[in-house]
Chain A
């Protein structure tokens, strides 16, 4: 699998972007030249220079430091919300696919109902009632994005259900939970993995948008979305405040998408021609 991934230059590029961002986010406290919330009244809205590689913002804070800490937020939101959505989606999908019948029908209609909500407005509505903390955002994104994974897993388990080794597991007298955990899911995880990576990109976008609108990660905690908001008001005098987070979001989402699509081509030969 690794070798075939390396033969796909776009996937390699995506993988490198993801890797660099991951390392940058993890090592942020050691990489940053300044504390991201250190005010410096003497250096307000300074352009990129040797002291501040990406300039400073309206309060004199170092933009590079804020960007690196913002990457932590993006990474955490991406992985935690995808973790939540995968957990919910895989569980419900496996149950629906394994038990079929009424259970399947009820769960799938529930999925249909969830899909009719315009996700973003649902999130807006929920955030309006809850605190706009990063944990609530991750929870809400996770709980509104599990439907795709659920359908994927259901379809995989439905087809696995007919395979002889699944029948053998049942014939050996295993409980349904064991058949699902030991026999169905290990053989159904490849598409979930791909969907998860693509989902990280989606979650990062949603978090950025919420923060941009001021109902996501709250200042002074830096996130790419709220840096961008500040950049919007000073666009005429400080282009770097908009360009840096904008490019960061673009490149990150692109990286996850390229990696995800590359993996999908490898893991699912049926989709390769598309």
Chain B
């Protein structure tokens, strides 16, 4: 599928996803997705809640990738699991093909899972150590009664060949393979049922750079062949830039900026995104860009700051940021949750312009 609509005209942003709903090319839609974990709550201790994901709206279209970036603990992985209803949201809903997943019976949900799969970060934990590769890849076919016996074996072998695994791997165990090979097994398992939406949860961060690049290329080829929609979760901005059509930046469970990848990398508006981008090492050593150094740590999601969650670390925060929570406001397909961006653009503040966008996916 062609990657279209990366550079969207102002006021018309079909690919970039949030409300208002434009369900014509939307495959999976998250509306107001919120997840709160309760912790403590013993007989005497007061129960407290962790706001892992708050009010996330995203819209995934066939053949397109939304990169989800943020620091560790910002709720990226929780969001990925919410999108697949591997976690039940506290509020909000996920619609696949217009059907709210919460309305499905357990049986229907299991059968709907054919369409939505996940690739994991850790290739060592994601494969059952006591199952042979062929069984791991083919189990989905068996569970959904897609194919059995010889037919299933042939399908599995074809799929393994497609992801770059030899037929001899079929009867071997995961521990006999390297991380990159295992990640290929994980991808084959996810694709066995021909899903339309795949959550890639940091699929290359546990791999060597060169191996990771092969896996990224494989994922992108598979997307072009099959028109897959990806939610690509990563903390690595360069990787996200390479694979994504749109980028969502998360901070403390909220999306703070959502825009086509090229726009994010050429002109990030949220001060947090600007800080993240300025931390990406650059090859051009001479004209060192001005770095925005973030002080402090991500605040505890047990006790998020009032107002804008980013204000304690923001270099340009004003009084309003401490009291009023900024909403994600759309400006020509570029959504930003920052009071200082809402009116006039912020590109003059903090750092200049943003990083180079040479790695961006072609439109």
Contact = CB atoms under 8 A, between A and B. Distances in A.
B237 to A, nearest CB: 24
Interface string A155-195: 00000000111011111111100100011001100000000
A246 B86 CA distance: 57
A163 B125 contact: yes
A172 B128 contact: no
Contacts of B122: 164
Contact of A178 (B116, B126, B143, B193): B143
B86 to A, nearest CB: 6
Interface residues of B, number: 30
B84 A171 contact: yes
B139 A164 contact: no
Nearest to A164: B126
Nearest to B174: A165
Interface string B167-187: 000000000000000000010
B118 A173 contact: no
A163 B174 CA distance: 15
A186 B173 CA distance: 14
A34 to B, nearest CB: 49
A171 to B, nearest CB: 5
Given A172-B140, A173-B110, A174-B143, A187 B130 contact: yes
B120 interface: yes
A142 B128 CA distance: 31
B130 A171 contact: no
Nearest to B85: A171
A182 B140 CA distance: 13
Contacts of B121: 164
A164 B190 CA distance: 13
B113 A183 contact: no
Nearest to A172: B140
B84 to A, nearest CB: 6
Contact of A165 (B81, B128, B140): B128
B309 interface: no
Contacts of A183: 128
Nearest to A187: B130
Interface in B98-142: 109-114, 116-118, 120-122, 125-131, 139-140
B143 A173 contact: yes
B242 interface: no
Nearest to B189: A168
A174 B107 CA distance: 10
Contacts, number: 59
B120 A186 contact: no
Contacts of B112: 173
Contacts of B126: 164-165, 168
A167 B86 contact: yes
Contacts of A174: 110, 139, 143
A170 B186 CA distance: 14
B118 A165 contact: no
A273 to B, nearest CB: 24
B125 A165 contact: yes
A165 B143 contact: no
Question: Which of B112, B129, B130 has the most CB atoms of chain A within a 10 A radius of its CB?
Answer: B130
A163 B131 CA distance: 15
B130 A186 contact: yes
Nearest to A168: B126
B110 A175 contact: yes
B128 A173 contact: no
B345 interface: no
Given A163-B125, A164-B120, A164-B122, A172 B130 contact: no
Contacts of B116: 171
A171 B122 CA distance: 16
Contacts of A172: 113, 117, 139-140, 143, 189, 193
B306 interface: no
Contacts of A187: 128-130
B358 interface: no
A189 to B, nearest CB: 10
A168 B116 CA distance: 11
A172 to B, nearest CB: 4
B117 A171 contact: yes
B144 interface: yes
Contacts of B118: 167-168, 171
A112 to B, nearest CB: 15
Contacts of B143: 172-174, 178
Interface of A: 163-165, 167-175, 178, 182-183, 186-187
Given A165-B127, A167-B118, A173-B110, 7 more contacts: A165-B125, A168-B120, A168-B126, A172-B193, A173-B144, A182-B139, A186-B128
Query: When A and B form their complex, which 9 residue pairs have the shortest distance between CB atoms, in order from nearest?
Result: A173-B113, A164-B126, A173-B110, A164-B120, A172-B140, A165-B128, A164-B125, A186-B130, A171-B118
18 contacts: A163-B125, A165-B125, A167-B81, A167-B118, A168-B118, A168-B126, A168-B189, A168-B190, A171-B84, A171-B86, A171-B113, A171-B116, A171-B117, A172-B117, A172-B139, A172-B189, A173-B110, A187-B129
